[in-house]
Amino acid sequence: MPMPDLPRPDEDMLQRHLREVRQLLAKQQLVEEVTRRQRMPHQRLVENITHRQNLARLQRKLDRLHPADIAYILETLPLDERLYVWDLVKADKDGDILLEVSDAVRPSLLETMDRDELKTAAEALDADELADLIPDLPTDVAQEVLTALDQREQAQVREAMSYAEGTVGALMDFDLVKVREDVTLEVVARYLRRFDALPDHTDKLFVVDRDERLRGILTLEALLINEPETPVSDVMQASELILFRAEDEARQAAHAFERYDLVSVPVVDKQRRLVARLTVSDVVDYIQEENEAEILSQAGLEEEEDIFAPILRSVKNRWAWLAINLVTAVIASRVINLFEDSIAQLVALAALMPIVAGIGGNAGNQTITMIVRAIAMGQVQPSAWRRLMVKELGVALINGLVWGGVIGVFAGVVYQNLPLGVVMVAAMALNLLLAATAGVLIPLLRQRLGRDPALGSSVMITALTDSGGFFIFLGLATLFLL
Amino acid sequence: MPMPDLPRPDEDMLQRHLREVRQLLAKQQLVEEVTRRQRMPHQRLVENITHRQNLARLQRKLDRLHPADIAYILETLPLDERLYVWDLVKADKDGDILLEVSDAVRPSLLETMDRDELKTAAEALDADELADLIPDLPTDVAQEVLTALDQREQAQVREAMSYAEGTVGALMDFDLVKVREDVTLEVVARYLRRFDALPDHTDKLFVVDRDERLRGILTLEALLINEPETPVSDVMQASELILFRAEDEARQAAHAFERYDLVSVPVVDKQRRLVARLTVSDVVDYIQEENEAEILSQAGLEEEEDIFAPILRSVKNRWAWLAINLVTAVIASRVINLFEDSIAQLVALAALMPIVAGIGGNAGNQTITMIVRAIAMGQVQPSAWRRLMVKELGVALINGLVWGGVIGVFAGVVYQNLPLGVVMVAAMALNLLLAATAGVLIPLLRQRLGRDPALGSSVMITALTDSGGFFIFLGLATLFLL
C-alpha cells in the first residue's frame, strides 16, 4: 500500500509556505480594513477575535519555518507586508534571518529594529556569523555586542572581520572539534558522546598537538570503520593534507572544493596552527554570490537589487553603467559625425552602418567571454596567446566573409549598388578581425596588469566595435564609393 | 620554531603541477627533435636514455596527481601535448578523468582510445558515473560494458540514464549505507566497522524497513554523540525529512542544498522506497555548470568551447547567435531606411540615432536581468507585476529625463539646434520607457507560457530597443524638425 505523500521542503513546499503566509496576511488586511471602515477604535481592533486568531495562526506558521525560508518569504513580500511579517518573527531567529536575507533587503529589516532587538539578534550568532553582521549595525550597538563576548570569541570576531571579502578568512568558521593523536578511537568516541551536538558539516576531526599545530585529520569515516582500540595516529591522514590559509583567495578555495569534492578543510596560520575551518556550505554561498555578481555586472547593475526597492535606490544602482555607456555612445556618434558629408551623399550608409557595428559587438563579446572564462579557470598560459589569437582571427575571418557576404548581397540588391555590397563585406570582415584582436588582447593585458579580466569587458569591447565599425565602414565607403 | 610550509593543493599548487608537466614535455620534445635531426631510427630514439628517464619522470608525476588535476592539465594543454599526456595516464584513472574533463574536451580524448581502453575506463566507474559517460561511447562498446555489469548495477545505470538532464535523477548516486530502526547504535557501529570505506559524503545513514521504504535518517552525529545502547529508532530523524524524487528539478534541489546547508539527501520513489541519494558535490558541479551555461548564452555562445578547438568547430558554436543578431540588425536597418529622406535633410540624425538605441539597450538589459534573476529565485509572484512595472517605469522616466537631458544639451549645443536637443530628450525618455515595459513583460510572459525566461532575453530586448529607438527618434525628428 503506497504511503501518503509527505510534503517535501523543496521549492513547491516553499511556494506553499509563501501562499499560506500571504493568505493570512490578506485576511489580516481585510479585518483591519473592515474595522477601519466601521471606525472602531484601535483598542477594539486588537481585541477583535478574528484578528487575534488570524494573527496567532500566522505566528505559529512563522515559528515552524526554517530561518532561510522566512528570509525567502521576506524578500518576496512588498515592503509593507515584509515589515508586518518581520515584526511577528520570534526574536531568537532574527540573527539567522538577517544573515540569510540578501544584502539588498537586509537594510529594510535593520531599519525597523531598536537597539535591544539588534543586540538580542546579534548575541544569538556564532563569531564568524557575527563578523558578517557587525558592519551593518550602528557602531555603538556593535561595540556593546562585542564587549559582551568572552575574550576568545572577541578575538575570533576581530580576526574574521580583519580579512577582506573574497578571502578564506572572511568565510571560515571557528566551530570545530580537536583531538590528540596519542589517544585511541575509543577515547575519541567517548569524548564525542559528551557533546550535545557536533558543529555543522563535521566530516572530520582535527588532530593537533599541544601548541595547536595541525598534525593531521581524522575523518569520521576513519573513526567509524576502524577498531576502537586503534590509536588516532594510526588512522589519521597526516600527509598531502588539503589546507588553507585565512589570507588565501576564496575563489581558489572554491575551485579546490569543487575539484576534490570536499566538505570541510582546516584553515591554518603560518606556523601551521589550526585557526578555523572552511565548510562546503560557506563555499556554496560564495559561489552563488560570485556568479550572481558576474551576471549582474555583465548587465550593468552595480549590485543585487531588492525588487521592491524605492525608485531612487534603483536609479542609483544603475546610473554608473548608463553614464559609461553614454560616453562611449557619444564617442561613436562623433565618429559618425566625421563622415557627415559621405552620409549626405549616400543615405544608405546610415541605414547599413548599425549592422556592421552590431555584428562586431556580438562577435567581440563571444570572444572576450570565452577568453575571460578560460583565464578564470586558469586555462590560459601566457605562452598560449599567440595560438589563441590565430584561432580567433581565423574564426573572425570565416564569420566576416560568410555573414559579410550575406549582408553584402542584401545591400547590393536592396540598394541596387554592387560596390556598396563589396564595401559591406570588407567592413564586416575588418570589424570582426578588430573584435577578435581586442577580444583576446584586452583580457590578457588586464590579466598581466593584475586587474580583473572580466570587469567591464563587455562595455569596452562594444565601445570599440561600435566606434571601430562606424569608422571602418564609413571610411571605406568614403574612399571607394564617393 | 615554525614548521616548513607544506605544499597546499590549491590553485598555486595546481599551477606548479602544470608547469612541471610542461617542462617535462618541452624537454621531451627537444630530445625527439634532436633525435630526428640526427636521423636516428625510431628504435634508437625509444632506447635513448635521456628520453626514457624523462618519460619516467613525467609518468611518475602523473601517477601522483588527482584525476581532477590531470583533467585540468589536459584542458590547458594544446591538442598535441594533451594527447601525449593522455597516453601516459594510467588506465585505471582514465574513467575518472573522462568524467572530470569538460564536455568540450572529452571528445578529443575519447577519439584516441580503442575499444579495450574504453571498456577498461568504463568498468572502473560507479553506476551513476557510467550513466554520464555511456552516451559518449560508441554503441557497441556501451553495450558490452553494460552486459558485463551485474543485474542490480545494470538496472541502476538504466535508471540513471532514464532521467533527463536537469533532474535529480541525472545527478543522484546509488552508493549509500542502509540500516534498520530496531537495532542499537552499537550494532550500527559494528556493522560500519565491516566496511573498508564509506561512500563519499556519508553524513547520514538511511533507515529503511524490509520493503526498502525510508523510515528516517540516522546522522553520523546522532550515531556518535549518543550512547551505544540507544536504539536507532530513538535518535533517528523521522519527521520533516528533506527528500527528493528522481524526477524533481535539479534546480530546486540545488536551492534546497543552498538554503538548508545540506551534505546528502535521500531520493525516494512514489512509494517512498529509497532509490539513491543526492550529495553536495554533485550539486556544486551542477550549480557551476548552470552558471557557466548562463554566462555563455548571454554572450551568444551555444556551449562551452575547448579553447584549442579547431576553427571550424568554434565557428559552429557561434554562428547561431550571430545569425539571429544579423536578422535583428537588418530589421533595425530597414527601420532607418524608412526615414531616408529625413536623414538626407538633417545628417545629424544619423550621428545621434545610435545613442538613443544604445542607451535603450543598456537600460533594457538592466531591467530584464533583474526581473529574470528575481523570477529564477522565485521572488516574483504573478500579483507583483503591476508594482514592478510602476517601479521600472519610474526608474526609466528619471533616467530618460536625466540622461536624455544631458545628451539633449550636448546635441543642441554641438549642432546649434535647440529643437533637435528637445527631440533627443523626448526620444531617450520614450525609448527607456519602452525598454522598461519590455524588460518586465517579456520575462513575465515567457514565464506564464512555461518557457525559460532567461533564454535569449538580452537579444530580444536589444532588438526591440534598437529598432524602437531608431523609429522613435527618427519619427519624432520627421514630425517636429522637418
Percent above pLDDT 70 for chain A: 94
Contact check, Cβ <8 Å, A379/B10:
no
pLDDT interval class at B40 (50, 70, 90): low
Q: Is the predicted pLDDT of residue B377 greater than 80, yes or no?
A: no
Domain positions in chain B: 11-166, 178-298, 311-481
pLDDT at A4 over 70: no
Q: Do A322 and B283 touch (CB under 8 A)?
A: no
> Worst-scoring range by mean pLDDT, A37-51, A456-470, B57-71?
A37-51
What confidence tier does B4 reach under pLDDT thresholds 50, 70, 90?
Answer: very low
Please answer yes or no on whether A330 and B9 come within 8 Å at the CB atom. Answer: no
pLDDT given for residue A248 in this prediction: 92
Is B407 in contact with A326 (Cβ distance < 8 A)? yes
Determine contact, residues B234/B182, Cβ cutoff 8 Å.
no
* Chain B residues within 8 A of A384 when measuring between CB atoms: 78, 307
pLDDT higher than threshold 80 for residue A370: yes
3-class DSSP string for chain B: CCCCCCCCCCHHHHHHHHHHHHHHHHHHHHHHHHHHHCCCCHHHHHHCHHHHHHHHHHHHHHHHCCHHHHHHHHHHCCHHHHHHHHHHCCHHHHHHHHHHCCCCCHHHHHCCCCHHHHHHHHHCCCHHHHHHHHHHCCHHHHHHHHHCCCHHHHHHHHHHHHCCCCEHHHCCECCCCEECCCCEHHHHHHHHCCCCCCCCCCCEEEEECCCCEEEEEEEHHHHHHCCCCCEHHHHCECCCCCCEECCCEHHHHHHHHHHHCCCEEEEECCCCEEEEEEEHHHHHHHHHHHHHHHHHHHCCCCCCCCCCCCHHHHHHHHHHHHHHHHHHHHHHHHHHHHCHHHHHHCCHHHHHHHHHHHHHHHHHHHHHHHHHHHHHCCCCCHHHHHHHHHHHHHHHHHHHHHHHHHHHHHHHHHCCCHHHHHHHHHHHHHHHHHHHHHHHHHHHHHHHCCCCCCCCHHHHHHHHHHHHHHHHHHHHHHHHHC
Any A CB within 8 A of B296 CB:
yes
Mean pLDDT of B240-253: 91
Q: What is the mean pLDDT of residues A137-145?
A: 86
More confident position, A49 or A170: A170
Contact at CB, A311 and B394, closer than 8 angstroms: yes
Residue A385 has what pLDDT?
83
Is residue B413 within 8 angstroms of chain A, CB to CB?
no
Report, in angstroms and rounded to the nearest whole number, the Rg of chain B calculated over CA atoms.
Answer: 31
Q: What confidence tens digit (pLDDT) does each residue in B163-185 have?
A: 988 899 999 999 999 999 999 99
CA–CA separation, A124 and A122 (whole Å): 5
Q: Which residues contact A256 (CB under 8 A, 6 or more apart)?
A: A242, A244, A262, A265, B9, B10, B11
Residue B359 touches partner A, C-beta closer than 8 Å: yes
Is residue B308's pLDDT more than 50? yes
- Is a pLDDT exceeding 50 seen at residue A9? no
Q: How far is A44 from chain B (nearest CA, A)?
A: 31
Give pLDDT tens digits for B329-363.
999 999 999 999 999 999 999 999 999 999 999 99
Nearest to B395 among A193, A311, A403 (CB): A311
How far apart are the CA of B102 and the nearest CA of chain A, in angstroms? 11
Give the percent of chain B with pLDDT over 70. Answer: 94
B11-166 sits in which CATH class?
Answer: mainly alpha
B411 and B425 Cβ atoms separated by less than 8 Å: no
Residue A433 reports pLDDT greater than 80: yes
Over residues B29-58, the mean pLDDT reads 68
Q: How far apart are CA A140 and CA A146, in angstroms?
A: 10
Confidence at residue B53, expressed as pLDDT on a 0 to 100 scale: 80
Chain A residue whose CA is closest to B462: A358
Question: Tell me, what's the pLDDT at B35?
Answer: 63
pLDDT at A33: 67
Name the residue with higher pLDDT: B366 or B29: B366
CB contact under 8 A, B329 and A223: no
- Is pLDDT larger for residue B51 or for residue B66? B66
Query: Is B381 in CB contact (< 8 Å) with chain A?
Result: yes
Mean pLDDT of chain B: 87
**pLDDT of A188 higher than 70:** yes
* Record: contact B325-A358, CB cut-off 8 A: yes
Percentages (nearest 5) of helix, strand, coil residues in chain A: 70, 5, 25
Question: Are residues B351 and A344, on separate chains, in Cβ contact within 8 Å?
Answer: no
Distance separating alpha carbons of residues B79 and B95, to the nearest angstrom = 20
**Interface residue of A369, A406, A424 to substitute, partner B, most B CBs within 10 Å:** A369
Instruction: State which residue of chain B sits closest to A363, comparing Cα positions.
Output: B322
Band the pLDDT of B279: cuts 50, 70, 90: very high
Q: Which of A366-375, B96-105, B451-460 has the lowest mean pLDDT?
A: B451-460
| Contact status, residue A244 vs residue A222, Cβ threshold 8 Å | no
End-to-end CA distance of chain B: 85
Residue B168 has a pLDDT of 94
Considering only the beta carbons, identify the residue of B256, B295, B381 that sits closest to A295: B295
Helix axes B280-298, A250-260, angle to 10 degrees: 120
Q: Which of residues 137-156 of A touch B (CB under 8 A)?
A: none
What tens digit of pLDDT does each residue of A114-124 get? 888 888 888 88
Which residue in A328, A340, A352 is closest to B333 by CB distance?
Answer: A352
Stretch B432-451: mean pLDDT, rounded?
Answer: 91
**Distance (Å) from the alpha carbon of B144 to chain A's nearest alpha carbon:** 30
- Out of A193, A365, A399, name the one closest to residue B225 (CB): A193
**pLDDT digits over B101-129, tens only?**
988 889 889 988 888 888 888 888 888 88
Query: CB contact, 8 Å: A303 with chain B?
Result: no
- DSSP SS3 for A215: strand
| B309-328 average pLDDT score | 88
- With an 8 Å Cβ cutoff, are A9 and B260 in contact? yes
The whole-number average pLDDT for the span A93-113 is 88
Residue B441 to chain A, least CA–CA distance (Å): 15
Q: Quote the CA–CA distance of A410 and A421 in Å, as a whole number.
A: 7
A2 touches B at CB < 8 Å: yes
Question: What is d(CA A242, CA B36) in angstroms, rounded to the nearest whole number?
Answer: 43
Residue A447 pLDDT exceeds 90: no
Task: Using a CB–CB cutoff of 8 Å, tell me whether B369 touches chain A.
Answer: yes
Least confident of A183-197, B101-115, B205-219, B368-382: B368-382
Q: Residue range B422-441: average pLDDT?
A: 96
- Flag whether pLDDT at A5 surpasses 50: no
Phi, psi dihedral angles at A449 (to 5 degrees): -80, 5
- Chain A residues with CB-CB distance to B366 below 8 A: 299-301, 318, 321-322
pLDDT in tens, A241-291: 899 999 999 988 998 998 899 999 999 999 999 999 999 999 999 998 888
Checking if the pLDDT of B283 tops 60, the result is: yes
Q: How confident is the model at residue A417 (pLDDT cuts 50, 70, 90)?
A: very high
CATH hierarchy code of domain A178-298: 3.10.580.10
Nearest CB to A370: which of B271, B305, B373? B305
pLDDT at A123: 83
What average pLDDT does the segment B300-309 reach? 78
Contacts of B391 in chain A (CB under 8 A): 307-309, 311, 314
Residue B34 confidence (pLDDT): 66
Most confident of A438-442, B79-83, B156-160: A438-442
Residue from the list A321, A333, A458 with its beta carbon closest to the beta carbon of B352: A333
Could B307 and A379 be called an inter-chain contact, meaning their C-beta atoms sit closer than 8 Å? yes
Q: Cβ B379–A76 below 8 Å, yes or no? A: yes
Q: Chain B neighbours among A 169-198 (CB < 8 Å)?
A: 189, 192-193, 195-198
pLDDT score at B474:
96
d(CA A110, CA A106): 6
Query: Is the pLDDT reported for residue A40 higher than 80?
Result: no
- B75 near A CB under 8 A: yes
Query: Does pLDDT of B36 surpass 80?
Result: no
**Mean pLDDT, range A14-34, rounded to an integer:** 76
Compute the half-sphere exposure of residue B331: CA atoms within 13 Å on the CB side of its CA. Answer: 14
Residue A34 pLDDT class (50, 70, 90 cuts): low
pLDDT of residue B38: 65
Q: What is the mean pLDDT of residues B451-473?
A: 89
* Closest alpha carbon to A294 in A376, A367, A360, A219: A376
- Please tell me whether residue A198 adopts helix, strand or coil conformation: coil
Give A-chain residues touching B375 at CB under 8 angstroms. Answer: none
**Nearest residue of chain B to residue A75 (CA atoms):** B379
| Residue A223 near chain B (CB below 8 Å) | yes
Task: Say if residue B5's pLDDT is above 60.
Answer: no
CB contact under 8 A, B355 and A329: yes
For residue A42, name the pLDDT band (cuts at 50, 70, 90): low
Residues of B in contact with A104 (CB under 8 A): none
Per-residue pLDDT at A293: 84
User: Could you tell me which chain B residue has the CA closest to the CA of A406?
Assistant: B326
Question: Do the chains contact at A311 and B259, CB–CB below 8 Å?
Answer: no
Cα separation, B335 vs A67, whole angstroms: 53
Find the helix or strand (DSSP H, E) in which A343 lies.
helix A340-345
pLDDT tier at B410 (50, 70, 90 boundaries)?
Answer: very high
CA distance A165 to B150: 50
Instruction: State the CATH architecture for A311-481.
Output: Orthogonal Bundle (1.10)
Per-residue DSSP letters for A106-136? HHHHHTT--HHHHHHHHHTS-HHHHHHHGGG
